[in-house]
Every structure is written in structure tokens, then in C-alpha cells.
């Protein structure tokens, strides 16, 4: 685990965003036991075998979670944005997330990395 990623999450000001970041990070670690973390472009990036698997990004009123290598995932219509190879879920304070399902998608996407 990266201290820089911990510091990033610790600096998130809105409690709901910080909690989402913690839960998303846990989902990635649950999906990819050998995941590597690092800060890149001022955001936590998660890698498997040196390739991007996921990224967390905090904005004013959202927490974005991007899954890479997502072209073969079967995802619900309208939930994710972006090109086939990387899909982004934008969560707001009023949204709930199925972390078990997110873990499953990350595991599936990272399985071929």
C-alpha cells in the first residue's frame, strides 16, 4: 500500500467522498490481491503487472472510479461513461454503489493484465 495514496484519501475534505475513496480502494484490493498503487497525475492509480487497472478521482461533487481494460465487461447501460477500453463511474453523495459488483468487474477486467 502506498503512503501517498493514503495521504490523498486523508486529504479529501468531504467525509462522504473520503469514505467512498476508502471503499473503492478496498474493492480494488479485494479484486487484485497483488495490486500496486501509486500517485500519478495527482490521482491514485492501481496497477497489475505494470498496467493500469483502476483510478480514483475526486472532484467538487463527485468521486469518479475508472476501470481499465473494460472492453469485454458487460456493464449496465447508462451507468458508466467512456470508451470501451476504460469505463468511468461517477458517484455523487446521493448515489449508492454495489461494491461487491465493482470488485467483480475490476477482478474480471484485471484478469488479463
Sequence ranges of the domains in the chain: 3-111
Supply the pLDDT for residue 95.
85
CA distances (Å), origin 44, targets 1, 21, 74: 11, 10, 25
- Exposure string over 48-69, b if 16+ CB within 10 A, otherwise e: beeebbbbbbbeeebbbbbbbb
**Cβ(104)–Cβ(67) below 8 Å:** no
What local confidence, expressed as pLDDT, does residue 1 receive?
Answer: 78
Architecture of domain 3-111: Alpha-Beta Complex (3.90)
pTM above 0.85, yes or no: yes
Q: What percentage of the chain reaches a pLDDT higher than 70?
A: 100
Q: Report the SS3 class of residue 17.
A: helix
DSSP state of 81: B
| Residue 100 CB partners (closer than 8 Å, separation 6+) | none
Round to whole Å and give the CA distance between 3 and 27.
18
User: Could you report the per-residue pLDDT of 67-101, keeping only the tens digit for each?
Assistant: 999 999 999 989 999 999 999 999 999 888 899 99
Check residue 104 and give its pLDDT: 97
The sign of the CA dihedral 93, 103, 34, 68 is negative
Predicted confidence at residue 55, as pLDDT, reads 98
Amino acid at each position: 500500500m502506498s503512503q501517498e495514496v493514503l495521504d490523498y484519501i486523508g486529504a479529501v475534505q468531504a467525509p462522504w467522498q473520503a469514505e467512498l475513496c476508502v471503499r473503492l480502494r478496498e474493492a480494488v484490493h479485494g479484486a487484485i490481491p497483488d495490486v500496486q498503487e501509486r500517485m500519478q497525475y495527482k490521482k491514485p492509480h492501481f496497477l497489475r503487472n505494470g498496467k493500469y487497472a483502476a483510478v480514483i478521482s475526486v472532484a467538487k461533487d463527485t468521486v469518479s472510479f475508472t476501470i481499465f481494460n473494460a472492453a469485454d465487461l458487460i456493464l449496465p447501460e447508462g451507468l458508466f461513461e467512456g470508451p470501451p477500453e476504460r469505463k468511468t463511474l461517477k458517484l455523487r453523495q446521493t448515489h449508492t454503489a454495489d461494491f461487491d459488483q465493482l470488485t467483480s468487474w475490476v477482478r474480471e477486467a484485471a484478469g488479463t493484465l
